[in-house]
Amino acid sequence: MSHRPSRPTTLLSLLLVVPLLAHAADRCKLNRIAMLPVTMDGLQPTVAAKINGAAALFTLDSGAFWSTLSPASAQQYQLRLDYNRVPGLYVRGIGGNTDVAVTTVKVFTVFNVPLHNVDFIVGGSEPGKGTVGLLGQNILRLADVEYDLAQGTLSLFKPDNCKHVDLVYWAKADEAYNVMDIEETTPLEPHTTGRVNLNGAKVRVQFDTGASMSIVSLRTAARA
């Protein structure tokens, strides 16, 4: 997809910055700039937001490169659909390809902050669990993100002087922990990816909060 809808940039400047001292690094500080409650509905994480002032429940989906709305939800919120904004844009699912539209929400409120003129992709199937769409990477990439589904929180951080520090602020001084390097992200490759060993085979994996079960491709299973 060559078109990149405008990215909201007001979030970082509007939020109160709370400094957190990173574990084992006096000069490194983590600035928590936002926190959003996450509710687990079974294995599906959901977050509350507002579309032009009306309440909206979204599935938290780090595997979605862009935030989406279902066609029924776009109609519910009386949003205008533009099928010509990105010619040839479609989504691919189990049943094949489906043409989609783009809509612009004048005021999208998340993290208790109003973001203006936020683009959503409209199309595909219903997300389920009473949610209206997916909260994807165009919103989640506004800052460094921490997913703590066990504690029911989604946090945005801005590290300061933390380039070579493990950001395990929650660990005690003598507590063991594991760290995994993740790849740099870009607007075209926004997903959280890393490498693991599967039966000795090095495998590239994607961390997807929208997936209720871990999966492996047939090719990778054969390698492992």
Per residue in 208-222, pLDDT (tens digit) is 999 989 999 999 999
**When comparing pLDDT for 35 and 187, which is higher?**
35
The mean pLDDT value of the chain amounts to: 84
Mean pLDDT of all residues in 135-143: 91
Instruction: State the virtual CA torsion across 105, 153, 149, 211 in degrees, nearest 10.
Output: 10
d(CA 222, CA 207): 21
Residue 6 has pLDDT above 50, yes or no: no
CB 45 within 8 Å of CB 194: no
Return phi, psi of residue 177, to 5°.
-155, 165
Residue 92 has pLDDT above 90, yes or no: no
d(CA 33, CA 39): 20
* 29-37 vs 18-21, strand pairing mode: antiparallel
The proportion of the chain whose per-residue pLDDT surpasses 90, expressed as a percent, equals 53
| pLDDT score of 29 | 84
| pLDDT score of 59 | 96
Mean pLDDT of all residues in 124-134: 87
Query: For residue 137, which of 66, 208, 36, 57 has the smallest C-alpha distance?
Result: 66
| pLDDT score of 224 | 87
| pLDDT score of 13 | 40
| pLDDT score of 187 | 80
Residue 198 has pLDDT above 50, yes or no: yes
Return phi, psi of residue 218, to 5°.
-60, -40
Residue 40 has pLDDT above 90, yes or no: yes
| pLDDT score of 126 | 79
d(CA 101, CA 89): 8
CB 69 within 8 Å of CB 79: yes
Query: For residue 210, which of 6, 7, 63, 21 has the smallest C-alpha distance?
Result: 63
Per residue in 42-66, pLDDT (tens digit) is 999 999 999 999 999 999 999 998 9
Residue 163 has pLDDT above 50, yes or no: yes
| pLDDT score of 166 | 83
Query: For residue 39, which of 66, 58, 62, 15 has the smallest C-alpha distance?
Result: 58
| pLDDT score of 93 | 56
Sequence-distant contacts of 83-88: CB under 8 A, at least 24 apart: 85/3, 85/5, 86/1, 86/3
Mean pLDDT of all residues in 20-43: 79
Per residue in 93-118, pLDDT (tens digit) is 555 566 789 999 999 999 999 999 99
Residue 70 has pLDDT above 60, yes or no: yes
The proportion of the chain whose per-residue pLDDT surpasses 70, expressed as a percent, equals 83
Query: For residue 71, which of 108, 125, 109 has the smallest C-alpha distance?
Result: 125
